[in-house]
Structure 1
Amino acid sequence: MDARDRDEPSPRLRPQSLMLTYLGNYVLGRDIAVFSGSLIAAFARLGVGEHAVRSTLTRMVGRGLLARHRAGRRMHFGLTARSEAVLRDGEERVWRRGVLNTDWDGCWTVLAFSLPESWQRVRHDLRARLAWAGFGSLGNGTWIAPSRVDVRPIVAGLRLDGRVKVFAGPAEAPTNVPGMLREAFDLEALASGYRAFLARWDRPAPLPHAPDDLARYLWMTTEWLQLVRRDPRLPVEHLPAGWPAVRGQHVLLELRDRYEAPARRLADAAIESIPVPPPPPDTADGGEFPQNPRL
């Protein structure tokens, strides 16, 4: 039997990642808070049990990604300014930006930093923010991105005055650009992720064991977002031949046309919610840069 004829297992995704996808599709922009029972029922479709859903909701509240709203004896959960920023960033990456950098102007951004050993937490936060923004590490506190990047919102709130240096411009000879990219970015691991996505979804009837198109849509878009969040969007001239993200994006868009409408009908029919005011601005350090919610 051909490997493509065998049923691929569902992607193994964290409940919080799936929760963010659900919220981005069916809560973002609506100024509502969702009854916890609706979330439990929706995630049962994905094989996520009630205990895991409740634990996920509690953790997300603790991380500033959800706000509790009580209506009578029922608990509802709504978005915060921080989760709205994360969700809009994901929406941009999945549906608007695309996986190919086809209009590269030859510019690279180079960032270098030097922090005391006692600043381990700040160093960890800075590295997480840089990776989120598409930078790769060359070691010794030097990071590169294959585009011109405004780093001010990335470093906002970290109090790094005088400890970060940023340059932007073309790579000059004798720089070995392909070697530099292999050093900064694990392209083989990223390509393997795209190939796994294709093995699961590039077929006439993906995930036949799934209960419905809502489950398929949530699995598919969450898995794709995990990939594009790690993808630095290298210029096309520096991509390996046969880069699987190209076919992956084509499959994603085809399946969106198939799944999106029935998935929304199922989600809207099952959701119980209450209206809530828009979330107040996030006043925590870090400005408007969407913090990595540990997807």
Structure 2
Amino acid sequence: MTVHPQSLFFALAGLHMLDDPRPLSGASIVFVMGKLGVGESAARSVLQRMAAKKFVVRHKEGRKTFYTLSDRGRVILREGQEKMFAGWQPQDWDGRWTFVRIQVPESKRTLRHQMASRLSWAGFAQVDGGPWVAPGQHDVVAILGPEHSEISPIVVYGMPQPPTTDEVLVSSFDLEALAADYEGFGGKWRAVAPASLSPADALVKRVELHFDWLTLTRTDPQLPVVLLPQKWPGAVQGDLFRRLNEGLDEAEKFVLHKLFSGEL
């Protein structure tokens, strides 16, 4: 597994800080991240950055340090959780697409990258370096944020007209690479048996599972089923993720009190 300290922390926080009001022990965070290949100094550096960005709130109890999510942190993690568990759009999609054209001056490259990242996260793809497209209706103003006023986007919602077809628009999404990533996820996780793991190992394994799945869902546009290839591997791996998540959740319960108290 490629180690991404901040993303691993997001996975851990999404699991055990988002819906649990108890503060999480800093020592436990460092322990779990260490089990996933993040050194102690790197883990503590992530916590310092998250506190500086006001993503988490830090407080002391004696010699121990504890962390809770800020309101901003909860909003960000909730967005990620919603995409992780969203699945694919229903089959009753009516055939309409959202088209977005943005023009960002060359002098504002950072803004251009920011707008592209937000559209990609929301399930859009760029057609031949031109407009961005996504099936269904999307609130583009909310996706782009307040910065939309700097780029004056043109947004159209409707059905493509000949010679443009749904297939042409779908080809803008790299589904072949995404399918290979899903197959890789299955190859790694299908042999994992939660019942065979100790509670502590199950806890660590569940963080890794969420990290891997979030990495996948970040790049998945979650197209309507009718636009996906037959036997789409994402559906099979989605079932695998949910099954493993439930099994690991059950297996880790006996050690959660140690996670929050810092006794791991």
Q: Would you call these one fold, judging by a TM-score over 0.5?
A: yes
Paired residue type of 1:134: G
Specify the alignment match of 1:202 in structure 2: 190
Deviation string for 1:65-85 (max 9, x for gaps)? 223223344332221222211
SS in 2 for 1:172: coil
Moved more, 44-53 or 212-221: 44-53
Paired residue type of 1:46: L
Name the Cα RMSD after superposition.
2.4
Q: 2:105 aligns with which of 109, 113, 116?
A: 116
Moved over 4 A (4+): 208-211
The answer to whether structure 1 residue 192 and structure 2 residue 180 are counterparts is: yes
- TM-superposed CA distance for 1:156, in Å, is 2.2
Specify the alignment match of 1:180 in structure 2: 169
Specify the alignment match of 2:70 in structure 1: 80
The whole-number CA distance in structure 1 between the counterparts of 2:258 and 2:151 is 54
Structure 1 residues 140 and 50 mapped into 2: Cα distance closer, same or farther (>3 Å)? Answer: same
CA contact (8 A) 1:146 1:233 kept: no
Specify the alignment match of 1:45 in structure 2: 35
The whole-number CA distance in structure 1 between the counterparts of 2:105 and 2:33 is 44
Structure 1 residues 239 and 13 mapped into 2: Cα distance closer, same or farther (>3 Å)? Answer: farther
Equivalent positions of 1:1-295 (< 5 A) are 11-95=1-85, 97-99=86-88, 101-160=90-149, 163-182=152-171, 184-203=172-191, 205=193, 212-272=201-261
SS in 2 for 1:126: helix
The whole-number CA distance in structure 2 between the counterparts of 1:213 and 1:36 is 19
Structure 1 residues 144 and 33 mapped into 2: Cα distance closer, same or farther (>3 Å)? Answer: same
CA contact (8 A) 2:141 2:148 kept: no
CA contact (8 A) 2:88 2:224 kept: no
CA contact (8 A) 1:115 1:123 kept: yes
The whole-number CA distance in structure 1 between the counterparts of 2:46 and 2:101 is 36
The whole-number CA distance in structure 2 between the counterparts of 1:51 and 1:61 is 15
Identity within the alignment, %: 33
SS in 2 for 1:77: strand
- TM-superposed CA distance for 1:114, in Å, is 1.2
- TM-superposed CA distance for 1:256, in Å, is 2.0
Deviation string for 1:115-174 (max 9, x for gaps)? 222122221111111111111111445101111101121222215267211011112221
CA contact (8 A) 1:146 1:234 kept: yes
CA contact (8 A) 1:64 1:80 kept: yes
CA contact (8 A) 1:40 1:53 kept: yes
Higher helix content, 1 or 2? 2
The whole-number CA distance in structure 1 between the counterparts of 2:203 and 2:64 is 25
Q: TM-score, normalised by structure 2?
A: 0.88
- TM-superposed CA distance for 1:112, in Å, is 0.4
Moved more, 60-69 or 121-130: 60-69
Moved more, 242-251 or 76-85: 76-85
The whole-number CA distance in structure 1 between the counterparts of 2:28 and 2:170 is 45
Q: Unaligned regions of 5+ residues in structure 1, if any? A: 1-10, 274-295
CA contact (8 A) 2:23 2:66 kept: yes
CA contact (8 A) 1:26 1:264 kept: no
Moved more, 72-81 or 226-235: 72-81
Aligned residues: 260
- TM-superposed CA distance for 1:175, in Å, is 0.8
- TM-superposed CA distance for 1:200, in Å, is 0.9
The whole-number CA distance in structure 2 between the counterparts of 1:22 and 1:32 is 14
- TM-superposed CA distance for 1:263, in Å, is 2.0
The whole-number CA distance in structure 2 between the counterparts of 1:186 and 1:56 is 32
SS in 1 for 2:99: strand
The whole-number CA distance in structure 2 between the counterparts of 1:151 and 1:159 is 9
